[in-house]
Amino acid sequence: MASEKILKQKQVVIDEIKSRVENAVSVVLFDYRGLTDGESKELRRKLREVGADYKVYKNTLMARAFNDLQIDLGDSLNGPSAFAYGDDQVAAIKVLTDFQKEHTMLDLKIGIVDGVVADRVKISEYATIPSRDGLLTMLASGMMGIARDLSICLDLYSKQKEEN
């Protein structure tokens, strides 16, 4: 039986995991085996650029934290797992998916986006969604197109009225 001190230390880590899951908009578990130290640092840098990060915890502690949060991850916690989390629904997923293209040993296991568990298929669907900035740009260009079309119509209408 573990000592009271060790149990308290483990509970602190479990509480940290639960806090990260509750405060993050998206969470992705992935297998990091095969990444070199330099590649791990590169991945962490890319994740931080989009407001995300990752951390490695023991699977048993992650399992306890997810059980406390009543999130069923099935057998996704088999083997080494890293835990990426972020404030954007798709930013961390996009970074991990792009990084996976260059580093095939990276394996995305499962994710949680807005409190909903996403399997590998759903994660790959999320990876194709444009970023928030991209979506806002598309919205702005669409709105500008409407304003441009309206101004052209009004100009043509005024020219037609002048001729009559």
SS (H, E, C) the chain: CCCHHHHHHHHHHHHHHHHHHHHCCEEEEEECCCCCHHHHHHHHHHHHHCCEEEEECCHHHHHHHHHHCCCCCCCCCCCCCEEEEECCCCHHHHHHHHHHHHCCCCEEEEEEECCEEECHHHHHHHHCCCCHHHHHHHHHHHHHHHHHHHHHHHHHHHHHHHHC
What integer pLDDT is reported at residue 125 of this predicted model?
Answer: 87
pLDDT of residue 75: 82
Which of 11-25, 80-94, 130-144 has the lowest average pLDDT?
130-144
pLDDT digits (tens, 9 = 90+) for 62-113: 999 989 988 888 788 888 889 899 888 888 899 999 999 988 888 899 998 8
pLDDT tens for 40-68 read 999 999 999 988 999 999 988 999 998 99
Percentage of the chain lying above the pLDDT 70 cut: 99
pLDDT category, 116, cuts 50, 70, 90?
Answer: confident
